[in-house]
Chain A
Amino acid sequence: MNTPDPVIHAPARLAVMTLLKGARSADFVYLLHETGLTKGNLATHLAKLEAAGYLEVEKTYRGRVPLTLYRITEVGRGALRGYRQHLVAVLERLS
C-alpha cells in the first residue's frame, strides 16, 4: 500500500491545508486562531509546507500594519487531492 504524503499527514499541517483550500488567502493570526496551535508550533508547520512548495507567503501591508498572507499553491492543491484519494482508497479497503 502507498504511504500517505508525510508533509500533509501531520494533523496540524492537514488542518492548515484544509483551511487554506477554501481561502484565497489567510494571515498567520487567522490560522493561529482556527488551528489552536501555539505561535512557534504553527510557524514550524507553515515553514515545512512552504519548503515542500505547498504554500506561498506574501508579506504586505494593510495601511501601515504589516501583514503576512498564506496561500495554497497548485502543487499544494494537487497534494491535498492526492492525500484525500489515498484516504478514500484506505477506507474502501477497510470496508
Chain B
Amino acid sequence: MEDDSRRRMYQYPNIDGTGELMMGTALLLIGFAGVIAQLPINTELLFRVLPIGIMLLFLGLLWFRQRVTYPRTGYVTPRRPNSFTIGLLVLTFGSMLFKHRLPDDIYLTQEGYPLLFGAFLAVMLLLAGQGLRRFYVYAAVALLMGVGSVAAGLGSDSGMFLTAFVTGTVLTVSGSRILRRYLAEHASPGDA
C-alpha cells in the first residue's frame, strides 16, 4: 500500500496531461523553428525568442495547475525530490559537458546528432513518466524518430527538427485527450 501511494504521488503531476501538452508544444515550436530556418530569411531573432516562448509555456503550465488542477484533485509535495528532477539536472549538465568535450567533427555531433537528441528526449520522457505506461510509448517514438532520421540520412539539423516535430505532435495530441478526460471526470469545486 505504501509503495503504491508513493508511486501515485510521483505520478501525480501527470494526472491532467498538461505536462505532456507543455512538452509537446515546446517540441512543436522547436520543430517549426527548424522549418522556418530553412527559408531564406533572417532567423536570428526567432532562435532568440524561442527559449523565451518555452519559458512562457512553463509558466503557463504552473498557472494552469494552480487554477484548474489543484482545486480539482488537490496538491501534494513528495518528501523527496523525484527522479525526474534529479535526472533532468544530471542530464542537462551532463549533456552540456558531454557536447563541450566532443570534437565538432565526429559522428554524434554531425550525422548522428538526431540519434543523440532522440535518446536524450527518450530518457527525459521516461524520467517524467515515473513508470506510467504511455510515457514508454512516447520515449519509443522519440528514439525511433532519432534512429529513423539518421537511417534516412536527413542530416543533423533536419533530423533533430523532425524528431522534435513528430514527438511533439504525439505528446500534444495525447496530452489534449488526457486533459479532456481529466476535466470530464473531475468537476471543479464551483460545479460540485
Contact = CB atoms under 8 A, between A and B. Distances in A.
Interface of A: 15, 18-19, 21-34, 62-63, 65, 67, 69
Given A19-B9, A25-B76, 19 more contacts: A22-B5, A22-B79, A23-B76, A23-B77, A23-B78, A24-B78, A25-B77, A26-B74, A26-B76, A27-B70, A27-B75, A29-B72, A29-B75, A30-B73, A31-B74, A62-B66, A62-B75, A65-B70, A69-B75
Interface of B: 1-2, 5-6, 8-9, 12, 66, 70-79, 186, 189
A14 B168 CA distance: 42
Contacts, number: 61
24 contacts: A15-B1, A18-B1, A18-B5, A22-B9, A22-B79, A23-B78, A24-B78, A24-B79, A25-B77, A26-B76, A27-B76, A29-B72, A30-B74, A30-B76, A31-B74, A33-B74, A33-B186, A34-B5, A34-B74, A62-B70, A62-B75, A63-B66, A65-B66, A65-B70
